[in-house]
Amino acid sequence: MSFALETASHPENLKRIAIDPVSRVEGHGKVTILLDDNNHVHQVRLHIVEFRGFERFIQGRPYWEVPVVVQRLCGICPVSHHLAGSKALDWVVGAPQISPTAEKMRRLMHFGQVLQSHAVHFFHLASPDLLFGFDAEVGKRNILNVAAEYPDIARQGVLLRKYGQEVIRLTAGKKVHGISSVPGGIHKSLNKEEIAFLKQDIGQMIDWSVGAVELCKRLYYSNLPLYENFARCESNLLSLVRPDGALELYDGLLRARDSKRKIIFDKVDNRDYHKVITEEVKSWSYMKFPHITALGREIGWYKVGPLARVQNCDFIDTPLAEEMRQQFMDTAKPVNHATLAYHWARMIEVVHCAEKIRDMLDDPDLQGNDLLRQGKRASEGIGIIEAPRGTLFHHYHVGDDDLVTMCNLIVSTTSNNQPMNEAIRSVAREYLDGERVTEGLLNHIEVAIRAYDPCLSCATHALGQMPLQVELVNTDGTVIDTRTRGADFI
Please provide the DSSP assignment of 258-318 as one string: -TTS-EEEEEE-GGGHHHHEEEEE-TT-SSEEEEETTTHHHH--EE-SHHHHHHHSSB-SS
Neighbour-count burial of 110, counting CB atoms closer than 10 A to its CB (0-12 exposed, 13-18 middle, 19+ buried): buried
pLDDT grade, residue 484 (50/70/90)? low
**pLDDT surpasses 70 at 487:** no
pLDDT for position 465: 40
- N-terminal to C-terminal alpha carbon distance within the chain: 21
Task: Please give the Cα distance from 1 to 371 (Å, whole number).
Answer: 53
pLDDT at 7 over 90: no
* pLDDT beyond 50 at 213: yes
Instruction: State how far Cα 242 lies from the chain centre.
Output: 20
Half-sphere exposure for 368 (CA within 13 Å, toward CB): 18
For 185, phi then psi, to 5°, come to 155, -130
User: Percentage of the chain surpassing pLDDT 90?
Assistant: 76
User: Which pLDDT value is given to residue 466?
Assistant: 41
The reported pLDDT for the residue numbered 283 is 65
* Residues 418-468: tens digit of each pLDDT: 999 999 999 999 999 998 889 999 999 999 999 999 876 665 544 434 444
The predicted structure's pLDDT at residue 313: 98
Please tell me the predicted confidence (pLDDT) of residue 75. Answer: 67
Total count of residues recorded for the chain: 490
In contact, 314 and 326? CB cutoff 8 Å: no
Q: Give the model's pLDDT for residue 238.
A: 98
Residue 252 has pLDDT above 70, yes or no: yes
Least confident stretch, 65-79, 114-128, 416-430: 65-79
6 pLDDT above the threshold of 50: no
The answer to whether 391 and 239 have CB atoms below 8 angstroms apart is yes
Higher pLDDT, 263 or 476: 263
- Greater confidence (255 vs 417) lies with 255
Q: Quick one: pLDDT at residue 471?
A: 55
- For the cut 90, the answer to whether the pLDDT of residue 470 exceeds it is no
Please tell me the predicted confidence (pLDDT) of residue 462.
42
Q: For the chain, give the mean pLDDT.
A: 90
**pLDDT band of 13, cuts 50, 70, 90:** confident
Q: Could you tell me what percentage of the chain is helix, strand and coil, using 3-state DSSP and rounding each to the nearest 5?
A: 45, 20, 35
291: confidence class by pLDDT, cuts 50, 70, 90: very high
The pLDDT, as a whole number, for residue 147 is 97
pLDDT over threshold 60, residue 490: no
How far are the Cα atoms of 166, 210, 384 from residue 187, in angstroms, in the given order?
Answer: 17, 34, 21
Give pLDDT, residue 489: 33
**Helix, strand or coil, per DSSP, at residue 345:** helix
**Interval 133-173: pLDDT, tens:** 999 999 999 999 999 999 999 999 999 999 999 999 999 99
- Other residues' Cβ atoms within 10 Å of the Cβ of residue 323: 15
Distance, CA of 253 to CA of 374 (rounded, Å): 23
Share of the chain above pLDDT 70, in %: 88
For residue 54, CA distances in Å to 50, 67, 69, 137, 397 come to 12, 13, 9, 39, 15
